[in-house]
Amino acid sequence: MEKKDILILAIESSCDETAAAVVKNGREVLSNIISSQIDIHTLYGGVVPEIASRKHVERINQVIKEALSEAKVSLEEIDAIGVTYGPGLVGALLVGVSTAKALAFGAEKPLVGVHHIEGHISANYICHNELEPPFICLVVSGGHTHLVVVNDYGEYEVIGRTRDDAAGEAFDKVARAIGLGYPGGPKIDKLSKEGNMNAIEFPRASVAGAPLDFSFSGLKSAVLNYINSCKMKDIEYNKADVAASFQKAVVDVLVSHAINACNERKINKLAIAGGVAANTGIRNALVEECKRSNIQFFSPSNILCTDNAAMIGSAAYYEYIKGVRHGYDLNAVPGLKLGERL
Ligand code: KG4
Ligand code: ZN
């Protein structure tokens, strides 16, 4: 008997993108609709949680309709509804979770809650059909910096984490300090290309006793101190050099820890995930270092690095085929830990 295709309708609303997608068998994207709120949050220099929730409410139904129509499937043909239930902004998450529950109830479909970071990691399954666990994943987003061993589908072991700021947070804060605005990551990435990455020696922090952990707050302070001391001395600093030197400092630490993790665990497959994984400096350095160390490198396309629902559809599929189902009491969990099951 031929195996039936599994179609997941996935919903993502944990931060400032309202997104829905239809994914077939965990790897094939039939539609991936993202309604970004960046324009409105840019006015305030960062995400305003209350505005994010309201915009999700305004847009979510339309985004879901578009996802189904672009995929050319009806709600009846969907096998399960996947939804991000944490971590993220509680009000924003609630919009997706409530909508998913209502759809699951109304259409009598199973409901599968997904961890946002599991979604980011799963974006790699979409872009690399051949990728299968075990592998190491460097997760670098606006809220997280984790080194994870993906032992199997849905089985994660966190072996390194940030002690303070996430990598994306550091990018956003430094961008604000040099007047680039929000969101800072892509702007620093672009400006870096015009600067000299060796112009300023910023610190590469390590955490005593935890060689795979990260700390970015010292680096952020060093950049702010550099800018302030230039201002006090009335010296005009070169923004592109600051951006490039800062980015290099982040990249050096991320790359060396990721390669060390692969060597330590004797796993020769490394993936990258999360918004910061779109950074060209990180990608280029990892391609080079992985080649040197005989490690296979995997990265999602840019659109699948930043928040989207296709990645949630992929993660939901692997949970679904394992038999994971959530009830109508599924709630938003803003501080949900990776690997935690509720
Ligand atoms: O994964 P994501 O979309 O949202 C979270 O789950 O946090 O990541 C957003 C983060 C922001 O901090 C943004 O500045 C950063 O990813 N980012 C980048 C780049 N594109 C997005 N950071 C560095 N370089 C980029 N090209
Ligand atoms: Zn994210």
pLDDT digits (tens, 9 = 90+) for 134-183: 999 999 999 999 999 999 999 999 999 999 999 999 999 999 999 998 88
pLDDT digits (tens, 9 = 90+) for 221-251: 999 999 999 999 999 999 999 999 999 999 9
SS3 123: helix
Residue whose tokens read 């008997």:
1
Burial of residue 68, with CB atoms counted within 10 A of its CB: 0-12 exposed, 13-18 middle, 19 or more buried = buried
Nearest ligand to the CA of 279 is 1
Roughly how many angstroms between the first and final C-alpha of the chain, as a whole number?
Answer: 35
Q: For residue 194, give both structure tokens.
A: 């015009």
Look at ligand 1, atom 21, and give the residue with the nearest C-alpha. 275
Q: Which domains does the chain have, with CATH numbers?
A: 7-122+305-321 (3.30.420.40), 133-301 (3.30.420.40)
Distance 70 CA to ligand 2 centre (A): 23
SS3 185: helix
Distance 138 CA to ligand 1 centre (A): 14
Distance 199 CA to ligand 2 centre (A): 31
Give the residues surrounding ligand 1 with Cβ less than 6 Å away.
Answer: 15, 141-143, 168, 171-172, 183-186, 189, 274-276, 278-279, 306-307
Distance 200 CA to ligand 2 centre (A): 30
Long-range contacts of 254-258 (CB under 8 A, 24+ apart): 254/138, 254/140, 254/145, 254/167, 254/214, 254/282, 255/282, 255/285, 255/286, 255/289, 257/138, 257/147, 257/160, 257/211, 257/212, 257/214, 258/136, 258/138, 258/147, 258/286
Instruction: Specify the pTM.
Output: 0.96
Nearest ligand to the CA of 216 is 1
pLDDT digits (tens, 9 = 90+) for 123-132: 999 999 999 9
